Amino acid sequence: MSKKPVASNNIRSLLNETRVFKPSKDFSAAAHVGSLAAYKKLWTESVRQPERFWARHAKAELAWQRPFKKVLQWKEPVAKWFVGGQLNVSANCLDKWLGTATANKAALIWEGEPATDGRPGEERVYTFAQLHREVCRFANVLRRNGVKKGDRVILYLPMVPEAAIAMLACTRIGAIHSVVFGGFSAQSVADRIHDCGAKLVVTSDGGYRRGGIVPLKKNVDDALAIHDAAGGLLARTVEKVVVLRRTGHEVHMAEGRDVWWHRELEYVDSRCEPARMDSESPLFILYTSGSTGKPKGILHTTAGYLLGAKLTHKLVFDVRDDDVYWCTADVGWVTGHSYIVYGPLANGTTCVMYEGAPNWPENDRFWRIIEKYRVTILYTAPTAIRAFMKWGDAWVTRHDLSSLRLLGSVGEPINPEAWMWYHKVVGGGRCPIVDTWWQTETGSILISPLPGATPLKPGTATLPFLGVLPEVVDDAGKAVPRNTGGKLVIRKPWPSMLRGIWGDPARYKQTYWSEVKGSYFTGDGCRQDEDGYFWIVGRIDDVLNVAGHRIGTAEVESALVSHPSVAEAAVVGRPDELKGQALVCFVTLKTGVDAHPGLKNELRQHVGKEIGPVARPDDVRFAEALPKTRSGKIMRRLLKQIASGAEIKGDTTTLEDFSVVAKLSQSDE
């Protein structure tokens, strides 16, 4: 594979790319926002009088059990939106549609992973009314197992409808869910349970992935048996585990602790009143990596989050009644929360959900699904698009994709080459692409085109969403001139912003509200062009974006040094053709330890076990010493250069000696 970076958001390729794609007349005519002038007018009003703007939409979009009294109470860094109001998220996603034409419309169309022997995957459709019934029943199961308002529930499930059902069931009774992606390890599950003090875990006997089985229940068993430094159980708050039968494989069921989902359903009925929740009641916690320490439990609350997810889903994807919308993310990430579950259901949109991988059993899995269900809107990630490009057009073009009318991209900057391919080959040249910038913390999309209004340029997320005021600033927090790089900040609070880091208000303030005075700091580098379009360059902190997954270098480093052979470790990103960034680890070994060839793989596996397969390093390189500044800081910039420049000699051990470079360097980084 070539070492040349293709995630080419570098200035050269940006300047070369001048093509602008205007929305077609037909698309604009039917769109919610149909011209650039209309967008500009709405946006200007929205940031001039944000409270008025948000109040209007909160009233129009959400079903309230009690109206709110005050739109925003802001005392930096703590925001309270729609104070005094009460509402229930599951009622807004489901009950709202009962008694309307939407009740019997498909809410979820689920496609399971095809079997290893070539048998097609299972397929299930839930109407809004059916989903309502299943959510009520499972909410009663949670209650029956001791879950009360405010309790934390861990969801560690494959991509099956029950994942959405369990999330909505939590919201129905006011429990706080924390979904843990199936690609995380037992240790990560235990850490998250410990951090949020979860009372109950919902998991399954396994999940299918590329013909293999992910042993989710086994991981939960292991997680619940991990001891902390003091000798106690790390995940001791867990009282019950609800197990969904998915694969039928035998699993251990602990007497008195573990219960089967399907058995529990026998004891409950399908009536469950939605709990009355305050606007600011915690809705969910989602863990994400930061530049230091353990993952942060990002906290979202009820009204503001739901409004953000619903309004952005409606306007950015320009949803209509007859759309078949497919977001290919996993519910373990925020994209799955906002744009598979909450946004689409709150808008009454039919949503496709797929259990498996894009290349299982063959490279045309996505295109088959689009053809089969006549998908109209596809929302996926640049890393997937680059893989499709590499696999070749034929996999795509042999399918009838004429149902598609809009494409979306999320997770990392989309390089113009991938954008053009997506537009031409997948979209047949007729579908606008919405490149949506946002974060776990932002809850919903903050920078994105509105497809009927915004002229597109490949590689940029374009302009801010309504009510959102981003700016590119220098180190002093001053706005920089156009076409100058800087830090991306958001100047005003918005309803779906995070409300904190679970259990750590100081870290919340430090991470997001201390870097640039009076503004939310995103951690991203950015440049605004002459049209005011935002070009995101990528993270400027020690967070990597590997195949759209956010990985903290500090976490991987501490996983490495927890291995008995490792003395010190430094982790950096290297540009990667497919994943955007690859994880490269520089490791020094303890005295007396041999850098034998098997050790590299052992360390990769070790990180996989500590954090999960998603964080398994691409490359481990041994060094005599790590290059450090005179104050002892690891020179990451240098390591990054070495990681992306130097060819790796063979697959065996490379002992790199940085002592010379380190000595030569006079200045601290």
Residue tagged 């801010």 (tokens): 464
* Nearest distance in Å: CB 604, ligand WT7: 22
* Nearest distance in Å: CB 550, ligand WT7: 4
Span of 346-354, 418-426, 531-539, 599-607 interacting with ligand WT7 by CB under 6 A: 531-539
Q: Which is nearer to ligand WT7, 365 or 487 (CB)?
A: 487
Q: Which is nearer to ligand WT7, 158 or 413 (CB)?
A: 413
Site for ligand WT7 in 417-436 (CB under 6 A): 435-436
Hey, what long-range contacts does 663-667 have (CB within 8 A, 24 or more apart)? 665/627, 665/629, 665/635, 665/638, 667/629
Would you give the binding string for ligand WT7 spanning residues 271-310, x where CB under 6 A is met? -----------------x----------------------
Examine residue 410 and tell whether it contacts ligand WT7 (CB under 6 A).
yes
Detail the DSSP E strand segments found in 185-239.
200-204, 207-209, 212-214
Residue from 57, 539, 604, 616 that binds ligand WT7 (CB under 6 A)?
539
Residue tagged 């045309």 (tokens): 364
Site for ligand WT7 in 437-476 (CB under 6 A): 437-440, 461
* Nearest distance in Å: CB 283, ligand WT7: 17
Of the candidates 112, 150, 105, 159, the residue with the CA atom closest to the CA atom of residue 131: 105
Q: What is the CA radius of gyration of the chain?
A: 24
Q: How far apart (Å, rounded) are the C-alpha atoms in residues 605 and 44?
A: 52
Q: Which is nearer to ligand WT7, 226 or 537 (CB)?
A: 537
* Nearest distance in Å: CB 218, ligand WT7: 27
Q: Which helix (H) or strand (E) holds 528?
A: strand 520-528
Residue tagged 């429990």 (tokens): 175
DSSP, res 464: B
Residue from 258, 355, 524, 576 that binds ligand WT7 (CB under 6 A)?
524
* Nearest distance in Å: CB 252, ligand WT7: 33
* Nearest distance in Å: CB 439, ligand WT7: 4
DSSP, res 191: H
Contacts of 328 (CB under 8 A, 6+ apart): 354, 358, 366, 378, 379, 380, 381, 384
Examine residue 334 and tell whether it contacts ligand WT7 (CB under 6 A).
yes
* Nearest distance in Å: CB 158, ligand WT7: 20
Span of 36-44, 234-242, 516-524, 608-616 interacting with ligand WT7 by CB under 6 A: 516-524
Examine residue 412 and tell whether it contacts ligand WT7 (CB under 6 A).
yes
Examine residue 497 and tell whether it contacts ligand WT7 (CB under 6 A).
no
Span of 236-244, 300-308, 393-401, 407-415 interacting with ligand WT7 by CB under 6 A: 407-415
**Would you give the end-to-end CA distance of the chain in angstroms?**
31
Q: Which is nearer to ligand WT7, 272 or 340 (CB)?
A: 340
Name 72's bridge partners: 81
Name 351's bridge partners: 108, 325
Q: How far apart (Å, rounded) are the C-alpha atoms in residues 534 and 528?
A: 5
Tokens representing residue 65 in the block: 């059990």
Q: Are 337 and 331 in contact (CB under 8 A)?
A: yes
Name 327's bridge partners: 379
Q: Which is nearer to ligand WT7, 42 or 537 (CB)?
A: 537
Q: Which is nearer to ligand WT7, 135 or 516 (CB)?
A: 516
List interacting residues with ligand WT7 (CB under 6 A).
288, 334-335, 410-413, 435-440, 461, 522-524, 536, 538-539, 545, 550
